[in-house]
Chains A and B, each alone.
Chain A
Amino acid sequence: MNTLSLAFRNIFRNARRSIMTMMAVGVGALAILMFGGFVSAIVLSFQTFIVQNTGHLHVYKRGYFDFGAGNPSAYGIADYAKVMQAIADDPVLKPMVAVATPSLTLFGIAGNFAANTSKTFFGTGLVPSDRERMRRWNAYGLQGLTWRESAMHDDDRDGGVIGLGLARMLSLCATLNVANCPTPPAAETSDKPVDQDIAALAAAEAPQDNGADPRPRIDLLAATAGGAPNVVNLRVARAENQGIKELDDAYVAMHLDLAQRLVFGRGERKVTALILQLHRSGDLKAAQARLETIFRDRGLDLEVRDFSQLTPMYPQVIGMFGTIFGFIAVIMGVIVLFTIANTMSMSVMERINEIGTLRALGQRRSGVRRQFLAEGFLLGLFGATLGVVAAILAAQAMNHSGLSWTPPGNSAPVPLTILLFQSRLLVPAAWICLTVLATLSTLFPANKAARMVVVDALRHV
């Protein structure tokens, strides 16, 4: 018989009311946890998607990030092989880095001269096997991620992938087996002959063993570092949805070698970025600091940017969901506060005579206060525990329900999951906060009970 066991008995005096109160707290906990777990899953699947596609850190020549996007040759990293070697050899970076790969971003015009169509493109030259490894990153162990076998290979130096929109505009839908692809109205098809010089240039580039490769060929035109126009042929292996229309309408991924041939011709070959993917996102700051140290020590004029700078939507998404989460948590907190305060006030009013008796027997004001606080605490504790258990069950059910959603910028749906324990803080924090809140909500009724005038309380019937 101590304060807690007495409190336990008292809350079950009016079992129905107490159970309703605990359920209200439980529903509050459930809502907070389910939404928190959902936000956890959203943030992590979004982060996973970003890290798979763009890595954690990008190394640029200083100024490229702010000014260089339009001028890959001026802001290129010339001796990138040496930089990569330095990264690979560094004892600090070595255990952190999963993939380090060069990348060349470029712009130009893509033409399908067979169909007399052309379109500006935004291209990336990459190392296919490195990108393939990057796409398998799943540090958070997310379930149900799907990989499509890459259409590009290291030894296929002319191969590449284009966006669905670009395929449509270049009239490649049929050849690339693109579904749901409208045919353009007749008037829009250009019948103007393509510039003769470019056509000639393209013809000169065209490989001779044409018939062996069934993949459609497009021509990519760009200005070289020296300013002269240059053309290369790209064998389009596949059209892939890029998620964002502007990107989808212009996207070309090609072998790094092909991109370098296009931009640098026979000149010195550079890249615009070195992309680093780490094993764990938690190492990001340490890796960035180490890279900066290495570059400073070696006098390299390079800068490092992290993925949230490259994808500003990422911090925005986190901020947005954080705000919604805070909003929901506050609403649930207010509901819990009023429910507990109401229940405990009723309990105090029903027990006025008992309070008078306890005080007459020699119970101090603080003892009365402690007794009621203990009851609020237990209501909160049981309710929050109920909510945690319910949330775990509901999350299990949800995670096995097969529901899916498509994150912003993603081209494929991902499973809808509730990650309750991904953030180690979520469940304990919700559990403790609601219990503490329930206890604090009892302060007002408990103080009212403690301050009662003994004789008035005893006279009360």
Chain B
Amino acid sequence: MTDSVRNEGPVVRLDQVVKEYHMGTIVVPAVAGVSLTLQAARFSVIVGPSGSGKTTLLNLIGCIDGATRGTVEVCGTDIATLNDDRLSDFRARHIGFIFQNFNLIPVLSAIENVEYPLLLAGIAKRERRARAMALLDAVGLADQARRRPNEMSGGQRQRVAIARALVAEPDLVLADEPTANLDSRTGAAIIELMHAMQARARTSFVFSTHDPAVMEHADSIFAIRDGLLVESREIGGRA
């Protein structure tokens, strides 16, 4: 099933999705009715000014937040139908995350951080090690496997995070401003790496950014402002 989803049909479909936050009596529409479709195995970028709703939109796509109205469908599943445990399992199986602040587990070494999603998937220790090591190697950190996050640079940490996001072979990887905490050269290298990894794994990548330079790698670009999709552009014919 995973493979069939990966190569044909949309991996994400949003239909008139609204997400409202309540601040006392004021209702803040962080996402104000967005409909979009993400094709499989694409490198997609969400751009928009600060406060436009990028993070909120990614949280909805990543199944860690629920829409106030509208339908969020990921890998053919309407996520509103899943309870919390099923949703957790769904994320473990289908979605990888890359965070702005790397969010590695500080008590785990690089390789253990990469192994963690496989632990959640219930994969045996030997296989976990091998797969995690292969991914660390792919992001160029094979020699740093035993290091703890606080012994690594920001760029190295984000590479570990990329390996962690990909190790369980998800259908979709979400990255919310993954380069915001990196200097521009390291950021560019990370984008380069993500692009390479995406091409290799044939996974769908979605990330948000302010950075116009990032967009040159994208297959599709979604521009949002004030919670609304203002532009949707397909660049290459990769699908």
Are B89 and A362 within 8 A (Cβ)? yes
B128, chain A: closest CB distance, angstroms: 8
Are A360 and B97 within 8 A (Cβ)? yes
* Contact indicator per residue, chain B 80-108, by CB within 8 Å of chain A (1) or not (0): 00001100111111010101010101111
Q: Give Cα distance in the complex from A200 to B69, angstroms.
A: 119
With A362-B92, A363-B88: A357-B105 Cβ-Cβ less than 8 Å: yes
Q: Which residues of A contact B115 (CB under 8 A)?
A: 1
Are B106 and A361 within 8 A (Cβ)? no
Contact with A353, one of B59, B97, B103, B107 (Cβ below 8 angstroms): B103
Are B117 and A361 within 8 A (Cβ)? yes
* Contact indicator per residue, chain A 432-461, by CB within 8 Å of chain B (1) or not (0): 000000000000000000000011001000
Are A362 and B65 within 8 A (Cβ)? no
Smallest CB gap from A3: residue in B: B119
Q: Give Cα distance in the complex from A454 to B119, angstroms.
A: 20
A interface, over-half SS: helix
Which chain A residues in 346-389 approach chain B with CB under 8 Å? 353-354, 356-367
Are A1 and B59 within 8 A (Cβ)? no
Are A362 and B112 within 8 A (Cβ)? no
Q: Give Cα distance in the complex from A20 to B112, angstroms.
A: 29
Comparing A5-13, A23-31, A213-221, A320-328, the segment that makes contact with chain B is: A5-13
**B residues contacting the other copy or chain, number (CB 8 A):** 29
Smallest CB gap from A6: residue in B: B107
Are A361 and B84 within 8 A (Cβ)? no
With A1-B115, A357-B105: A364-B64 Cβ-Cβ less than 8 Å: no
With A1-B115, A454-B64, A455-B64: A362-B103 Cβ-Cβ less than 8 Å: no
Does B120 interact with chain A (Cβ within 8 Å)?
A: yes
Q: Which residues of B contact A365 (CB under 8 A)?
A: 84-85, 88
Are A359 and B88 within 8 A (Cβ)? yes
Are B64 and A458 within 8 A (Cβ)? yes
Residues of B within 8 A of A (CB): 59, 62, 64-65, 84-85, 88-93, 95, 97, 99, 101, 103, 105-108, 112, 115-117, 119-121, 164
- Selected A-B contacts with CB under 8 Å, 14 pairs: A6-B108, A9-B108, A10-B107, A353-B101, A356-B103, A361-B97, A362-B92, A362-B117, A364-B85, A365-B88, A454-B64, A454-B65, A458-B64, A458-B103
Residues of A within 8 A of B (CB): 1, 6, 9-10, 13, 353-354, 356-367, 454-455, 458
Q: Given contact pairs A1-B116, A365-B84, A367-B120, enumerate 5 new A-B contacts (beta carbons under 8 Å).
A: A1-B108, A9-B108, A357-B97, A360-B91, A458-B103
